[in-house]
Copies of this chain bind each other. A is one copy, B any other.
């Protein structure tokens, strides 16, 4: 490994001079600067980002904190992470992944991206000493990027109606979180506009819970119904039980999911779904966080990304 001492030797100057060229180039003559920079090039010594980080008391590292259990997370975190990492790499930032909130304060980082936050987490957010941004909408004034959840379910519900399904049932996720309220609002408002009565079920975000819901209620279901599901996991469970009951998809029953990452493509039949632009959101979150760090923590506001409906085989 090339060290600062090697550079000093190569340039035939003191270590102090090398250090000054790196940290306070304005205090050094042009001649000395040239000598040292040439030595650094010769030896392939690249101290800039690290040295600058030291001068600014920056680590050039941010933490990606996920508060959901990894085993239960959707594969879409992979996309979010790649988008986020791409945004960071452009600015020569690196990331640490944190799954245990206790690790947040350990070591060094200039800021945090927090994902999977639930109501009970907000209490300790205000104690964080570094700038942070959230992936996921909230109404407490924290900066965030999210899909426009309400718009997504409005598009899904309008599409189901345009395919002439007579009944539209919403199967939501059983959590009291803003993203869920927004998805339900998108559905409710659209039905209201068409003077139809909403019918909402809520289950845990697992395919087997959705499957059980359909099993328990199948006898009361009528043909010409479309299910608007708050996640692809739920949609997969609905499809599975409809198939077990011998129901015809999409002729008698339509199913529309939400997320559009991986699961929708491996489902059989392939799932019509509201696709989130996860990679893009990751990139935007990196930009937002780095800007917030550069601006000493000043508010960045909220960004809502429009999702797109992907039409496949579970709607007619």
Contacts and interface: CB of A to CB of B under 8 A. Distances in A.
Given A70-B82, A86-B97, A108 B49 contact: yes
Contact of A4 (B54, B81, B94): B54
A64 to B, nearest CB: 8
Q: How many copies does the complex hold?
A: 2
A57 B107 contact: no
A85 B100 CA distance: 12
Given A46-B108, A89-B98, A3 B57 contact: yes
Interface in A238-289: 240, 262-263, 266-268
A55 B85 contact: no
Interface string A68-91: 001001010111011001101100
A114 interface: no
Contact of A96 (B75, B89, B97, B266): B89
Given A97-B86, A107-B92, A262 B54 contact: no
B99 A44 contact: no
B54 A49 contact: no
A interface, over-half SS: mixed
Quick one: which of A81, A86, A263, A266 has the most chain B CB within 10 A? A266
B82 A99 contact: yes
Given A99-B82, A266-B207, A296-B1, A61 B240 contact: no
B78 A97 contact: no
A12 interface: no
Interface string A89-131: 1001111111100010001100000000000000000000100
A47 interface: yes
Given A85-B96, A97-B89, A129-B44, A49 B107 contact: yes
B266 A236 contact: yes
Contact of A266 (B85, B86, B92, B263): B263
Interface string A121-152: 00000000100000000000000000000000
15 contacts: A1-B296, A4-B54, A45-B57, A49-B59, A49-B108, A61-B94, A73-B78, A75-B75, A75-B78, A85-B96, A86-B99, A89-B103, A240-B268, A262-B262, A263-B266
